Structure 1
Amino acid sequence: MAGGPTLANEIARAMRDSPLYVTIPAVMMTIILAIFILDQLSHGPLKGRRSPPVISVAPVWGGMVAFLAGPMRLMREAMPKYGEVFTVPVFHKRITFLIGPKVSEHFFKAKDTEMSQKEVYEFNVPTFGKGVVFDVDHTTRAEQFRFFADSLKSNRLRMYVGMMVKEAEDFFAKWGDEGEVNLLDELSELIVLTASRCLLGREIRETLYSEVTELVHDLDKGMVPLSVFFPYAPIEAHRKRDKARKKLAQIFDKVIQARRESGASEPDVLQTFIDARYKNGSKLSNDQVLGMLIAVLFAGQHTSSITSTWTGLLSIANKERVFPALEEEQRKIIKAHGNELDFDILAKMDELHFAVKEALRMHPPLIMLLRYAQSAFEVETTEGKKYTVPKGHIVATSPAFAHRLDSVYSEPDTYKPGRFREPNAEDKAAFASFIGFGGGRHGCMGETFAYMQIKTIWSILIRNFEFDMVGDLPEPDYEGMVVGPKHAGCRIKYKRRAKPLGK
């Protein structure tokens, strides 16, 4: 989660939209105070154990104000004072931060029944739908994750790469011989095209693309900071979200039913979910197939467009130092394989892989990862301090903050793709040093798909264009739920090569 409109403003807006506007403030304040008092009584010290230090904030609202002022700011201010482990009271909840590889091990190694996603991500249910992902028990969700995994097996990825290449080549063929573009806008559009082809299916890409894209946009805009705490609040963003979800269900019901009745089979993620079966032989309903698709789309669309944009911006901004290795790698690949691009060829592009990974280290789109502690657990800091995190705490770790620790990475604020080269790769020094795709039991299943997609885009761009920045590198935009570069700073100049690399 990132900063954005204050909770107070969002609540006020929701109240104004409600017919109960006159009575809600007093009722809410009474409820909040009651919860706060009960919560204080229920969070006593654990017998014989040392709980993490609680940061000093004003009662009731203080933790929320500190949290919404920006998690990055909160961590920068709290860590020097409280160390790698500390707790922030937010209303009746407790959020315990684990900063750095050593104290984050349990976060990534624990089973979902011990460190659960469901309780902290239930705000996604109105968007994804009922009966999928965060609206099911642990056993059912594990089976649904198996469906995700089936859609991302290597034989499937091989088919997807061909679709990615076609979409990217067609897209960049429309660029002129030279010009200026907003890289974030361009790559976001391309990622949506690719997602429509690989995930949502041929029917959507070829005949329903514009309508579905607008509806997905309304779904996306329906997830605002207030949604995390009040996902059903009667605000305009939520009303548009619900309307878009209903319309998407109608569209996909027709597409899915047509495939079921005809027996047609397409090489896309939609087909994987249509064919999926639980261990008891039952299948997903049409609406649940859509819910799974939306979950995949939301997991990958913004993160891929943001990471592909940062990869380009950081490489171009450090062109003299970074681009020679990227260009030389493409020359070698072209010499060995011609202009062909497939799954195996992309897997050989180590320099480009490092460039993407370093962009993700410096600017992970998800600046915080959250879990719910189903049972108490112990952590030990690098200084040897031991704490017991109580059952019921929300546990947070931050890729954005942890990736900038100078105890983990040398010159952490410098873009250095070579830091990942063997034999002294910096991310291999300790478990959970690199958590751009999560880690351990909670690693992102879409990691390979994301790398293939971004490497496809940038191998085509590097082969055919030269680039320069327009202005300085942008700052991260912490106003969004998924954090990317500030839009205005993403402009670049491009010039089509007189001869593509390798010619």
Structure 2
Amino acid sequence: MEVDGKFLNTGLLIVATIVVAKLISALIIPKSRKRLPPAVKSWPLVGGLFRFLKGPILMLRAEYPKLGSVFTLNLFHKKITFLIGPEVSAHFFKAPESDLSQQEVYQFNVPTFGPGVVFDVDYSIRQEQFRFFTEALRVNKLKGYVDQMVTEAEDYFSKWGSSGEVDLKYELEHLIILTASRCLLGREVRDKLFDDVSALFHDLDNGMLPISVLFPYLPIPAHRRRDQARKKLSEIFASIITSRKSTGKSENDMLQCFIDSKYKDGRPTTESEVTGLLIAALFAGQHTSSITSTWTGAYLLCNKQYLSAVMEEQKELMGKHGDRVDHDILAEMDVLYRCIKEALRLHPPLIMLLRSSHSDFSVKTREGIEYDIPKGHIVATSPAFANRLPHIFKDPDSYDPDRFAVGREEDKAAGAFSYISFGGGRHGCLGEPFAYLQIKAIWTHLLRNFELELVSPFPEIDWNAMVVGVKGKVMVRYKRRELKVDQ
């Protein structure tokens, strides 16, 4: 009994010591001065997982009015801090990779793109590979690509009859994969291997599911098909590269640019790297361009004011240049450009952009509140939400291309990073000029050659897709016409 009493007294003494130490530390040691963002109310352990999976935009719509432009969502052991609006997102776009990194958050792309490229290499190598993209998209290259885009559009729409009904979404998806094959993947693929390569890319595409973001190597059928497709594509491109090198043939396409690219130390690209870079280029551009082309058409066909404006622009250009369409003529199409840009503001295909924070940083809201974002947080912004902020864009849910016209320019009035459909800053989309030229080339042909009428309801957003696009069919009635030019 005496021994038990000693143990009890010792235990009480230890507890009392801990309590006193806590009280002293609370009084003497200052509390953390970090001004942490408010947190979204969520369940223990799983945090806001269910709300996030239901749809991040729904969660943002609910929490932004309550918590403001900076807030944190707990997901298991991770914390995602959202920065919404240009006032707080400058650091997101401008910070160096050493502070805010893409690599960790986009690892799920590695099985699709393959080893040794983009997010499977350190930042210095990735920067060199992005330089290869930049060189492949210089104006002198783009001029050649435009000629190919125009040819593909003419060939594709020549197969339409004098009148009929089509699913515009389906037609544009197919035309853009043809155009991408010609400009990016090369003549060999477009002329001889299109069906094979298209099917393999379909398997790659279907192998990138929401669950792939969390578990990219999960042994499920879609991932197995993805891996087999990636292997077969490597074999096809290895054969094409070997053939081009042995015959000395050179083509005006992105494939050739990647074959000819060299790192700063003089090392040429490998066959595996060329294949991975091509896959990354196609993934970056194919879906986004077909989705934006479809939304552009749906809005134009439902807004006679803007349809009349783009038609008038086409007539004026035909008066100046005849039927010719090239890079420089497409560059003159300011009205069509604004119509595409507005469709892209309302429906950016990438609704979330992510970074991993490697250092603490602070932001200040437009109300003057400062928050400290700790190292280790995932930092996010949302083009789909930020592009509709009412203090930046007047009537943000309405389709109004004139908001970008000289004199209004709502996207510039609030400063940099007000319009982020193509990202911005250090990681802005390299393919933006290519995308606009491609969409302009397609719609120039459609506007000049067809009367078009939307016969299905205005399309809804497909929030379930990895790249958020158009839900269901977009049925359009067409009739061929000759566009009369005012002389």
Please say if 1:349 is aligned against 2:303.
no
CA distance in 2, matches of 1:454, 1:395: 32
Q: 1:379 aligns with which of 363, 367, 385?
A: 363
The residue correspondences of 1:26-425 to structure 2 (distance < 5 A) are 47-318=32-303, 320-425=304-409
Q: Give the stretch that moved more between structures: 204-213 or 467-476.
A: 467-476
Which secondary structure state, in structure 1, belongs to the residue aligned with residue 48 of structure 2? helix
Query: Per-residue displacement from partner, 1:435-471 (whole Å, max 9, x unpaired)?
Result: 1111122211100000000000001111111111113
TM-score normalised per structure 1: 0.89
The verdict on how the C-alpha distance between 1:112 and 1:221 changes in structure 2, with shifts beyond 3 A counting, is same
CA distance in 2, matches of 1:83, 1:149: 37
8 A contact 2:47–2:73 mirrored in 1: no
CA distance in 2, matches of 1:426, 1:46: 43
TM-score normalised per structure 2: 0.92
8 A contact 2:79–2:377 mirrored in 1: yes
RMSD: 1.2
Which secondary structure state, in structure 2, belongs to the residue aligned with residue 119 of structure 1? coil
CA distance in 2, matches of 1:494, 1:113: 53
CA distance in 2, matches of 1:437, 1:456: 19
Q: How big is the shift at 1:56?
A: 1.0
CA distance in 1, matches of 2:121, 2:57: 32
One-letter code aligned to 2:329: I
8 A contact 1:327–1:501 mirrored in 2: no
Query: Per-residue displacement from partner, 1:170-220 (whole Å, max 9, x unpaired)?
Result: 111111111111111000000000000000000000000000000000000
Which secondary structure state, in structure 2, belongs to the residue aligned with residue 62 of structure 1? coil
Query: Per-residue displacement from partner, 1:272-300 (whole Å, max 9, x unpaired)?
Result: 10011000011221011000000000000
CA distance in 1, matches of 2:167, 2:395: 29
Q: Give the stretch that moved more between structures: 268-277 or 423-432.
A: 423-432
Structure 2 residue runs without a partner (length 5+): 1-29
Which secondary structure state, in structure 2, belongs to the residue aligned with residue 179 of structure 1? strand
Aligned to 1:24: none
CA distance in 2, matches of 1:92, 1:297: 34
Q: 1:462 aligns with which of 447, 466, 470?
A: 447
CA distance in 1, matches of 2:31, 2:450: 61
Query: Per-residue displacement from partner, 1:13-64 (whole Å, max 9, x unpaired)?
Result: xxxxxxxxxxxxxxxxxxxxxxxxxxxxxxxx99322111111100122321
CA distance in 2, matches of 1:260, 1:246: 21
Aligned to 2:427: 442
**After the TM superposition, which parts of structure 1 deviate over 6 Å for at least 4 consecutive aligned residues?**
none
Q: Give the stretch that moved more between structures: 445-454 or 462-471.
A: 462-471
Which secondary structure state, in structure 1, belongs to the residue aligned with residue 106 of structure 2? helix
8 A contact 2:315–2:483 mirrored in 1: no
Aligned to 1:472: 457
One-letter code aligned to 2:323: N
8 A contact 2:403–2:409 mirrored in 1: yes
One-letter code aligned to 2:255: L
Q: How big is the shift at 1:501?
A: 4.2
CA distance in 2, matches of 1:263, 1:366: 39
Structure 1 residue runs without a partner (length 5+): 1-44
The verdict on how the C-alpha distance between 1:485 and 1:151 changes in structure 2, with shifts beyond 3 A counting, is same
Which secondary structure state, in structure 1, belongs to the residue aligned with residue 371 of structure 2? strand
* Corresponding pairs, count: 456
One-letter code aligned to 1:220: D
CA distance in 1, matches of 2:97, 2:164: 49
One-letter code aligned to 2:201: V
Q: How big is the shift at 1:76?
A: 0.7
One-letter code aligned to 1:404: R
The verdict on how the C-alpha distance between 1:46 and 1:449 changes in structure 2, with shifts beyond 3 A counting, is farther
8 A contact 1:311–1:359 mirrored in 2: yes
Query: Per-residue displacement from partner, 1:321-376 (whole Å, max 9, x unpaired)?
Result: 11111011001100111111111110000000000000000000111111111211
CA distance in 1, matches of 2:96, 2:168: 39
